[in-house]
């Protein structure tokens, strides 16, 4: 590692830790979830948070918006919401002379950090309004094309329990999320801390420690991290291993998976692994980095077939078995 790369790695790690510390002032425990959200932000991807109500999913994203000085927007998804409520629409306006003209009014999605709260409560038609903006980072309405500000990140929440009044996210939309993070219950010690913080007059302040230009610079540093061939080969074999009847799929994948990860899967693996390497103050991706982030990157990209659903098979179980079966490059001839 040359001096310039070392300085970049040190700068990245310091900023990551400062933001993580500020978010941790509000979010008790959930260390893996906080790291996942920050990894997605620095990798330039989007994140889907899934968990039962009351676990602090929305609070985490609100805390992040205070720690980084970004244009923040919250969209509360409901069944009666229309696509225009998200991306905007043309409005008839009048100028000083009384002349009428159509003017496009931007929707709440035009922001740096977008919280899509309870995203699975919107209809598929409304959910589809996010497809272009999440992939292309732009919205198109008629002849107008509006670029999103940089950095741009959609952080969505959904509840896996509430079935009434919800609509499953389509595969095309799930594939656009870099991470799917599962938010679990706090442990006993975390409950003590939550009670002390939320049932007293204690007020928690969050300092702003970063801004948009700084985050854009950090995202550029992430993309400059090299990936050795040995790590690249492992990532390719891992993604191919999720695809039924490929050279690296095991018996369980062949039996229970209808669709595996797309090329977005390997892009997500390597970008997230680069962030993890920098956080560990390393300027190169290792196989261990890829293994560590494989679950949140790939779990939502596997489509379980009817046989697997009937047997109670989950993508997490299949990925755990695949990671166990797949040989590391050190063991590959």
Domains detected in the chain = 225-333 (1.10.8.80)
pLDDT computed for residue 289 by the predictor = 96
pLDDT computed for residue 161 by the predictor = 61
Dihedral sign, CA of 280, 285, 287, 292?
A: positive
pLDDT computed for residue 163 by the predictor = 63
pLDDT computed for residue 104 by the predictor = 72
**The pair of three-digit structure tokens given for residue 126, joined into one six-digit string:** 């409304």
For the chain, the helix, strand and coil percentages under 3-state DSSP, each to the nearest 5: 50, 15, 35
Write out pLDDT tens, residues 245-263. 999 999 999 999 999 999 9
pLDDT computed for residue 166 by the predictor = 82
Give burial (CB, 10 Å; 0-12/13-18/19+) of 145.
Answer: exposed
pLDDT computed for residue 56 by the predictor = 86
Q: Where are the alpha helices (DSSP H) in 142-262?
A: 171-174, 188-198, 212-224, 229-241, 251-256
pLDDT computed for residue 279 by the predictor = 94
| pTM across the whole model | 0.90
* Residue 44: count of CB within 10 angstroms of its CB: 21
pLDDT computed for residue 157 by the predictor = 92
Give burial (CB, 10 Å; 0-12/13-18/19+) of 267.
Answer: middle
pLDDT computed for residue 333 by the predictor = 45
**Below-50 pLDDT ranges, the chain:** 332-333
Q: Would you put residue 137 in left (φ > 0), alpha (ψ -120 to 50) or beta? A: left
Write out pLDDT tens, residues 155-164. 999 987 666 6
Contacts of 216 (CB under 8 A, 6+ apart): 150, 151
């Amino acid at each position: 590692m040359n001096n310039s790369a070392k300085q970049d790695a040190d700068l990245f790690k310091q900023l990551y830790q400062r933001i993580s510390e500020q978010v941790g002032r509000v979010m008790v425990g959930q260390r893996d979830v906080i790291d996942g959200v920050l990894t997605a932000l620095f990798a330039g991807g989007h994140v889907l948070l899934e968990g039962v109500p009351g676990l602090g999913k929305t609070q985490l994203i609100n805390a992040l918006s205070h720690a980084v000085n970004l244009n923040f927007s919250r969209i509360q998804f409901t069944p009666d919401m229309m696509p225009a409520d998200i991306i905007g629409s043309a409005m008839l306006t009048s100028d000083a002379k009384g002349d009428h003209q159509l003017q496009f009014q931007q929707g709440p999605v035009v922001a740096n950090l977008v919280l899509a709260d309870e995203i699975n409560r919107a209809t598929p038609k409304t959910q589809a309004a996010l497809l272009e903006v999440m992939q292309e980072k732009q919205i198109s309405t008629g002849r107008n094309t509006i670029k999103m500000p940089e950095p741009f990140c959609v952080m969505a929440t959904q509840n896996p329990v509430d079935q009434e009044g919800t609509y499953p996210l389509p595969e095309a939309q799930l594939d656009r999320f870099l991470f799917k993070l599962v938010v679990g219950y706090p442990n006993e010690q975390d409950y003590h801390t939550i009670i002390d913080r939320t049932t007293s007059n204690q007020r928690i302040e969050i300092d702003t420690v970063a801004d948009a230009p700084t985050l854009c610079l950090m995202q550029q540093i992430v993309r400059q991290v090299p990936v050795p061939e040995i790590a690249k080969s492992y990532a390719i074999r891992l993604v191919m291993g999720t695809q039924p009847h490929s050279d690296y799929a095991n018996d369980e994948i062949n039996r229970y998976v209808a669709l595996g990860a797309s090329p977005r899967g390997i892009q997500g693996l390597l970008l997230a692994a680069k962030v993890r390497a920098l956080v560990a103050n390393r300027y190169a991706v290792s196989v261990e980095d890829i293994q560590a982030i494989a679950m949140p990157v790939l779990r939502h990209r596997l489509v379980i077939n009817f046989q697997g659903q009937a047997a109670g098979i989950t993508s997490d179980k299949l990925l755990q078995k695949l990671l166990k079966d797949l040989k590391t490059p050190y063991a590959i001839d």
